[in-house]
């Protein structure tokens, strides 16, 4: 079977985890229809929420391994990995995968180390599954911030891999399932609980969550010129009900907070529309915005990579163009 670690929040299964499930299902089908299982860490004394079960059923999950243990109320990567290793052994996993989130990659690194097998991070595709059990799995993954693809062989008993954000779109299975729920408490030692969260602070209301789920992101880079150069960009994002995203130059210079950074070392976004103003489109930035459905670039340089890769562009100074767009929006609204 193929085991997918899923992360959940108040709304159910995270979109990236749904992507990982869709990816896992594709792999399961190519491997000749092996079952797809999910592993979710729950709260002791509680069933998995109905919305989570419905979403897992939609993805064609046969079984949910529901981890319930008082020792897991605070996150610890080693403890989560202990749970994955238990599932891999007890249910005979050929592949263990998760979304390539910070949590996903951390837990999988522990899991691969504990299983003494290789791990492939940020996988975007499957090249070969192999006809027989034990045949190597060959995957393609992103390296160098997405500028290069690596074909990698996972030749071990259990293949461990994380799925790059937006490598696939979440898609429902042809036939939905009613997943069976298997509650269990993993085998752990005290050492597995040493590196656990001791405190969680107040979430900054407009931290990167708003950015990654926004339908519209208005981005600005060095072209904004200064910390004061974002007024029009912020106003445009407000007019469109979107979020602000920036390049690394902008956060490095302290013009805007780090949680607004888009790219390899920032957030990966997939809005319906990304308006990139004064951003050159360096590969590390592109790695975070290439999944936008439509990209509109505003740039003085018609040859900037962001312009040549965009769907639409306006050539010129963002400090003239963005206020004009805002005015036009205001004018048509009244």
Partner 1 sequence: MTDVLVCIKRVPGASGEVLLSDDGQRVDARHVGWTLSAHEECAIELATQVAGATGGTATVLTVGSADAIEQLRDALALGCDRAVLVEAETDRFGPVDVAAAIAEVVRAHEAAGTSYGLVLLGNDAADTGDFQVPVRLAYALARPVVTGIATCTVEGDLVVAHGDGPDGPETFELPVPAVVAVMEGGVAPRYPSVMGRMKAKKVAIEQVAAEIEPVGSGRVRLTLPPEQPSQVQVLGQGADAAPAVVDLLEELGMVSR
Neighbour-count burial for 147-160, b at 16+ CB within 10 Å, e otherwise: eeeeebebebebbb
Give the 3-state DSSP-derived string for 127-159, with helices as H, strands as E and coil as C.
EECCCCCCCCEEEEEEEHHHCEEEEEEECCCCE
Minimum separation from the CB atom of position 13 to partner 1 (A)? 13
Answer whether 315's CB lies under 8 Å from 300's CB: yes
264 in contact with ligand FAD (CB under 6 A): yes
The listed partner (partner 1, ligand FAD, none) that binds 318, CB under 5 to 8 Å by sort, is ligand FAD
279 binds, among ligand FAD, partner 1, none (CB under 5 to 8 A by kind): ligand FAD
Q: Is 249 among the residues that bind ligand FAD (CB under 6 A)?
A: yes
Answer with the entry of ligand FAD, partner 1, none that 143 interacts with (C-beta below 5 to 8 A by kind).
partner 1
Closest to ligand FAD by CB, 30 vs 319, is: 319
Rule CB under 8 A: is residue 35 a binding residue for partner 1?
A: no
Count of CB atoms within 10 A of residue 231's CB? 13
Task: Figure out which of the listed residues 30, 71, 114, 235 binds partner 1, where binding follows CB under 8 A.
Answer: 114
248 in contact with ligand FAD (CB under 6 A): yes
For β-strands 137-143 and 148-154, DSSP reports them as: antiparallel
Contact positions with partner 1 (CB under 8 A) in 204-223:
204, 207, 215-216
Q: What does the alpha-carbon distance between residue 235 and residue 323 come to, in Å, rounded to a whole number?
A: 9
Q: x/- contact string, 19-48, with ligand FAD (CB under 6 A)?
A: ------------------------------
Collapse the DSSP code of 185 into the 3-class scheme (helix H, G, I; strand E, B; otherwise coil) and give the result.
coil
Q: How far apart are CA 170 and CA 172, in angstroms?
A: 7
Residues in region 168-227 near ligand FAD by CB under 6 A = 221-223
Footprint on residues 128-167 left by ligand FAD (CB under 6 A): 145
- Secondary structure (3-state) at 246: strand
Residues 6+ apart with CB under 8 A from 61: 4, 21, 36, 37, 38, 177, 179
54 touches partner 1 by CB under 8 A: no
Q: Which does residue 278 bind out of partner 1, ligand FAD, none, counting CB within 5 to 8 angstroms by kind?
A: ligand FAD
Choose from ligand FAD, partner 1, none: what does 48 bind? Cβ within 5-8 Å by kind. Answer: none
185 binds, among partner 1, ligand FAD, none (CB under 5 to 8 A by kind): none
User: 223 — phi, psi (to 5°)?
Assistant: -55, -20
Site string for ligand FAD, 270-309 (x = CB under 6 A): --------xxx-x-xx--x---------xxxx--x-----
Phi, psi (5° rounding) for residue 260?
-90, -5
């Amino acid at each position: 079977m193929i085991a997918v670690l899923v992360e959940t929040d108040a709304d159910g299964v995270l979109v990236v985890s749904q992507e990982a499930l869709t990816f896992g299902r594709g792999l399961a089908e190519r491997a000749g229809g092996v079952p797809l299982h999910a592993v979710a860490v729950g709260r002791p004394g509680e069933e998995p929420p109905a919305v989570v079960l419905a979403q897992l059923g939609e993805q064609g999950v046969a079984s949910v391994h529901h981890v319930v243990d008082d020792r897991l109320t605070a996150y610890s990567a080693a403890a989560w990995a202990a749970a994955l290793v238990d599932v891999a052994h007890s249910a005979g996993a050929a592949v263990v995968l998760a979304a390539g989130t910070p949590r996903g990659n951390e837990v999988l690194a522990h899991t691969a180390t504990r299983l003494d097998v290789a791990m492939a991070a940020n996988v975007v595709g499957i090249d070969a599954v192999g006809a027989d059990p034990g045949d190597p799995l060959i995957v393609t993954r992103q390296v160098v911030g997405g500028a290069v693809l690596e074909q990698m062989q996972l030749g071990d008993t259990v293949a461990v891999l994380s799925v790059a954000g937006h490598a696939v779109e979440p898609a429902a299975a042809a036939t939905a399932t009613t997943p069976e729920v298997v509650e269990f408490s993993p085998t752990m030692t005290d050492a597995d609980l040493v590196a656990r969260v001791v405190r969680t602070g107040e979430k900054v209301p407009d931290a990167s969550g708003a950015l990654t789920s926004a339908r519209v992101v208005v981005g600005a880079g060095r072209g904004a010129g200064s910390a004061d150069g974002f007024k029009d960009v912020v106003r445009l994002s407000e007019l469109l009900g979107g979020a602000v995203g920036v390049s690394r130059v902008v956060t490095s210079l302290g013009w805007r907070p780090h949680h607004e950074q888009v790219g390899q070392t920032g957030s990966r976004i997939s809005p319906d529309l990304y308006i990139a103003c004064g951003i050159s489109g360096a590969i590390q930035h592109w790695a975070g915005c290439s999944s936008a459905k439509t990209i509109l670039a505003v740039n003085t340089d018609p040859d900037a990579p962001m312009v040549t890769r965009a769907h639409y562009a306006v050539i010129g100074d963002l400090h003239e163009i963005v206020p004009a767009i805002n005015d036009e929006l205001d004018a048509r609204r009244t």
